[in-house]
Amino acid sequence: MKKLTKLGLAAVLVMGLSSMAFGHAPPGELYFAVQFPDGLTPTMDGDLSDWDVVPIDPYTIRNDRLYSPVADIQPVGRGEIDVSDINIRHLIGWNESANQLYFMSEVFDNVHNADRENPSAFWQDDAWEVEVNPDHTPTEEHNLEGEPANNFSYKWAVPPVEGSYQYYRPVSALEWLVDGTEWVNFGWGFDGEQFGESTYYYELAITPITSLPNDASATADQAVVFDLEENEIIHASLVVGDFDEPCTECVLTSYQGFWTMSPEMCCTATNDLVLAELEPSLEGAAPTAVEDVSWGQIKAAQ
């Protein structure tokens, strides 16, 4: 894990995304997670209006920063998205008291595909994928054989097919690590034609896990929780997979597009994400009373 000092963060905010050398992929670039104050955290219901309070800069991630890293899908350069086919906006946030990360995406698509015959084959339909590696290790150290898992994938394909819409890696059979628990909370919605031209809205809240035994018997008390703090740098990446035609024997060329924050293909978190300090515009914007016991209170009591 890494921390950016307040002086370093201020310099980056002034200079923009510069050539700082501690990034992984892409090297030298930082992304920023907005800090939500207590009482202003977004609700995971697919209504993105909770995010309207977030300043556009430096938090908004748009097409110009996204990669198509798999040449067999779309051999185009960074940001070369045809917005008549797909148009993407991401935001990431965090809250110290809840010790949660929040992810949001707005995805316009000319065709929303959700017709997989196998309900568990989410990769055959339009999908939204979130990769998180809290301890900031490089890709080659993610989920090593015989070692605890340290890169976690949260994958979603909606609307559900026969009730299936959520998929996790590297361990997929953990009943406690599912939507609606203290660990994972997902919401979605859409405008337009559900299976045609539409804009889909995705939201996810997670409690970040640093490490977990990489097997189906892993229990919640074996999860090592990452303690989110201001100016910490973690790894997180977002992926949008786009199908315009149905397929059952899907190959890479079946995708219309596969757009990621990372140049390293899929299924791993590589982007340097700074847990930003509280924006002045958000201070005092929410009620100060917090009914639930906060993560900070839990730490203080230990």
CATH number at residue 270: 2.60.40.1190
For 214-257, the three-class secondary structure string (H helix, E strand, C coil) is CCCCCCHHHCEECCCCCCEEEEEEEEEEECCCCCCCCCHHHCCE
- pLDDT at residue 172 is higher than 60: yes
pLDDT score recorded for residue 164? 95
pLDDT score recorded for residue 3? 59
pLDDT score recorded for residue 285? 79
Average pLDDT over residues 78-83: 93
Q: How many domains are contained in the chain?
A: 1
**pLDDT per residue as tens digits for the range 197-220:** 999 999 999 999 999 999 999 999
Average pLDDT over residues 68-85: 89
Two structure tokens written together for 146: 């015989």
List, in sequence order, every residue forming a beta bridge with 161; answer none if it has no partner: 164
Average pLDDT over residues 64-93: 92
pLDDT score recorded for residue 1? 52
pLDDT score recorded for residue 232? 96
Q: Which structural domain range is residue 61 located in?
A: 2-301
Average pLDDT over residues 135-142: 90
Average pLDDT over residues 247-276: 89
Longest Cα–Cα distance of the chain, Å, equals 55
| Those residues with Cβ within 8 angstroms of residue 284's Cβ, 6 or more apart along the chain or in another chain | none
pLDDT score recorded for residue 8? 44
Average pLDDT over residues 162-176: 93
pLDDT score recorded for residue 4? 53
pLDDT score recorded for residue 156? 98
Average pLDDT over residues 105-112: 97
pLDDT score recorded for residue 44? 98
Confidence of residue 246 (pLDDT cuts 50, 70, 90): confident
**pLDDT per residue as tens digits for the range 7-57:** 344 334 333 333 333 447 888 899 999 999 999 999 999 999 999 999 999
pTM (2 d.p.): 0.87
- pLDDT at residue 234 is higher than 70: yes
Q: What DSSP character marks residue 122?
A: G
